[in-house]
A and B are shown apart, each in its own frame.
Chain A
Amino acid sequence: MVGDGERRISRGGFSGGIRNLAYDPAARGIALQILLVLAIAAIGLEIVSNAVSNLARQGITSGFGFLNHTSGFDISQKLIAYANTSTYARAFWVGLLNTLLVAALGIMLSTVIGFAVGIARLSSNWLIARLAGLYVEVLRNIPPLLMLFAFYFAVLKALPAPRESIVLPLSSYLNVRGLTVPKPMLEAGAGYVGIAFVLALVLAAIIAGWARRLQLATGKTFPTLWTGMALIVFLPAIAFFAAGQPVQFDTPQLGRFNVMGGLTLLPELVALTLGLSLYTAAFIAEIVRSGIVGVPKGQKEASAALGLNERQTMRLVVIPQAMRIIIPPLTNQYLNLTKNSSLAVAIGYPDLVSVFAGTVLNQTNQAIEVIVIVMAVYLFISVVTSLLMNWFNARMALVER
């Protein structure tokens, strides 16, 4: 302590110099940062120079030129046109879209299951609460990779061989190769249906806004949900018939090995979506439960005193307030689900990692480029999701006040 006092005095006394600079927090901060910059730069330089010399020595070409080469392999699920004569770049987009598809489906499904289980855990029904608790404790303590294996083979086991396909209405087939439904083929005039759909969405939004103002002004409620849904269903339907049914269907038919034609929902996609959703739902359930528990009891009592029934209390009072607690950890779970979708590689779903960091990497030997691209894509997805959820969170917080 004495030394400390002296230090202060001597600095105040203008007899500083380099020695005192070492004790100056600001100077030390700058020195530390310079050191850090230098260290990072040195490591970066070392890595780059090693990589360059190693690649040169082994005769591995570098750069992204390989993306324009012909891929030569096939992919089982493609949302955009792709064949084995397409380029590696095309394969990348196929993989990326497949990843986004499974992430989107998984997020929706896990949210629904997670909220259901989370609320069930607080149910007054003893058995239901226990079962929900069991669900959470079992599923969240098993590695997701193992769960995917289990789900995949369970899905495969449950479904019949193609020749014993379960024939569903509208000439759809369900078998171990997936669910095949007629594939709509758009013709001229289909655009009107799209326009009608957009129109319906806009109208629904306007009605929702009006209903809101009505409620704020008069307290009267208007069935926004039902009106909106009716609009979105009927308006395009009317346009569809008015335009003379501009859609043809590619009806699936049972071939020698498989159901040919139509649009097929692969069992890999189903298993991956189910596995990821059920796993993530266990975490979401816990988040939802703690969110609901986190809403003060007085709120429920006040809402009961206002004469709202249990469901209204939940929907109008508890959930909106719980959302404030729920959203930040929920974002993390969504991101985890997206990242875990990379486990698709183990069960044969052609996602980004499987197609690009798998087959393409193996065939081109461009390890650095391929992995950098894949990491950058995941990073981008996670930044965008975070930003979206932050925006949503801010909006919820405002509604709060």
Chain B
Amino acid sequence: MTSVLRIGSGLAMALVAMLPATGADAQGTLQKVKDRGQLACGVNTGIAGFSAPDDKGNWAGIDVDLCRAIAAAIFNDSSKVKFVPLTAKERFTALQSGEIDVLSRNTTWTMSRDTSAGMNFAGINYFDGQGFMVNTALNVKSAKELSGASICVQTGTTTELNVADYFRQTGMTYKPVVFEKLPETIAAYNAGRCDVFTSDASQLYATRLTLGNPADHIVLPEIISKEPLGPAVRQGDAQWGNIVRWTYFALVNAEELGVTSQNLDQMLESNNPEIRRLLGKEGEFGVGIGLGNDWAYQAIKAVGNYGESFDRNLGEGSRLKISRGQNALWRDGGLQYAPPIR
């Protein structure tokens, strides 16, 4: 009997060990993360360029890089991050309940999400917009010609509503085919079930690669929505929000100042005051957000600057070959603009 009791209590303890109780409001998120020794980061279950595991099972992507940068800024170690893959449906609950500390899952910043879903957005690490992809054989040049077409859409996103709005507004008709997950949506488009695949433009380019002959498909010029994608944190913890926001800004600033993961150590000796402030040689900016003054140095060392991360995951260095477009720095005609560190 006693042995049974022992085993029972062992099991109970084992179960308790799996429920890390987190006093949400009692202490700040930063302290919680430090106590845990790990950042919990919610990412997409698999979307090329943003977050997807490679052959070795390591997560890679621009959203993943942001998580690594934050972990490096806090722990000086970019491996101290736990990636929690989330579906569209559960992402907000996961953030609200404290299962994750930051949601970096190509999530569109909208007013209702920012104000009434118990969370705040901390920045926009990818400017996207919804577009349409069609087979070149259809000889379609513009979205205005799409009346009567069948359209493949993934549910759980703003995409579905945007299409409905667009077609209602232009007075055209369409036939929706709605899927729960991206893989089936793409497969159905590929099999000719739909004339059009609609999604965020970045996803359209990524998807084009998965199709038999990418040259057979074109992305139409019309972008029908604004999809600012960015990381989000729980409402009510300003310090934590600052850490996430400024880690992202640091990566953008680094690109602007020409600081890369390659020349980082030479840059430490730079005379440029902006670079010196960024890398923590001057000022107490890191301490101001509760981290070490070399926070940005660590973040850049881990993932490179914004441009490097973009290039590696989405741009020329990847198979996706997406041009910077709106995501170029402001001085190159894009929208990526970070406030100065001073």
Whether B176 contacts A76 by the Cβ 8 Å rule is yes
Specify which chain B residues have a CB less than 8 angstroms from the CB of A73 in the assembled complex.
160-161, 164, 176
- Distance in angstroms between the alpha carbons of A176 and B161 in the assembled complex: 25
User: A229 within 8 Å of B by Cβ?
Assistant: no
Decide: A57 near B118, CB < 8 A? Known: A359-B155, A359-B156.
yes
- Distance in angstroms between the alpha carbons of A208 and B70 in the assembled complex: 78
Nearest chain B residue, comparing its CB with the CB of A75: B176
Whether B187 contacts A153 by the Cβ 8 Å rule is yes
Contact with A along B42-81 (1 / 0, CB 8 A): 0000000000000000000000000000000000000000
- Distance in angstroms between the alpha carbons of A161 and B175 in the assembled complex: 15
In the assembled complex, the CB of B227 is this many whole angstroms from the nearest CB of chain A, namely 16
- Distance in angstroms between the alpha carbons of A58 and B147 in the assembled complex: 41
Q: Given B93, B160, B176, which contacts A367 in the complex, CB threshold below 8 Å?
A: B93
Decide: A59 near B116, CB < 8 A? Known: A74-B176, A359-B178.
yes
Whether A74 contacts B164 by the Cβ 8 Å rule is yes
Q: Given A176, A257, A348, A358, which contacts B156 in the complex, CB threshold below 8 Å?
A: A358
- Distance in angstroms between the alpha carbons of A258 and B177 in the assembled complex: 13
In the assembled complex, the CB of A341 is this many whole angstroms from the nearest CB of chain B, namely 14
Nearest chain B residue, comparing its CB with the CB of A344: B180
Which residues, 329 to 358 on A, are CB-close (under 8 Å) to B?
345-348, 350, 354, 358
Whether B191 contacts A153 by the Cβ 8 Å rule is yes
- Distance in angstroms between the alpha carbons of A398 and B146 in the assembled complex: 62
Which residues, 170 to 202 on A, are CB-close (under 8 Å) to B?
176-177
User: A149 within 8 Å of B by Cβ?
Assistant: yes
Interface residues on B, range: 35 or more
User: A72 within 8 Å of B by Cβ?
Assistant: yes
User: A362 within 8 Å of B by Cβ?
Assistant: yes
Chain A CB within 10 Å, residue with most, of B164, B177, B195: B177
In the assembled complex, the CB of A280 is this many whole angstroms from the nearest CB of chain B, namely 22
In the assembled complex, the CB of A183 is this many whole angstroms from the nearest CB of chain B, namely 15
Nearest chain A residue, comparing its CB with the CB of B117: A365
Decide: A354 near B155, CB < 8 A? Known: A72-B165, A348-B178.
yes
In the assembled complex, the CB of A39 is this many whole angstroms from the nearest CB of chain B, namely 17
Specify which chain A residues have a CB less than 8 angstroms from the CB of B184 in the assembled complex.
149, 152, 346-348
Specify which chain B residues have a CB less than 8 angstroms from the CB of A348 in the assembled complex.
152, 177-180, 184-185, 188
In the assembled complex, the CB of A344 is this many whole angstroms from the nearest CB of chain B, namely 9
Query: Using a CB–CB distance below 8 Å, which chain B residues touch chain A?
Result: 88-89, 92-93, 96-97, 116-118, 138, 145-150, 152, 155-157, 160-161, 163-165, 168, 174-181, 184-185, 187-188, 191-193, 195
Query: Using a CB–CB distance below 8 Å, which chain A residues touch chain B?
Result: 54, 57-60, 72-76, 84, 149, 152-153, 156-157, 161, 176-177, 255-258, 260, 267-268, 345-348, 350, 354, 358-359, 361-363, 365, 367
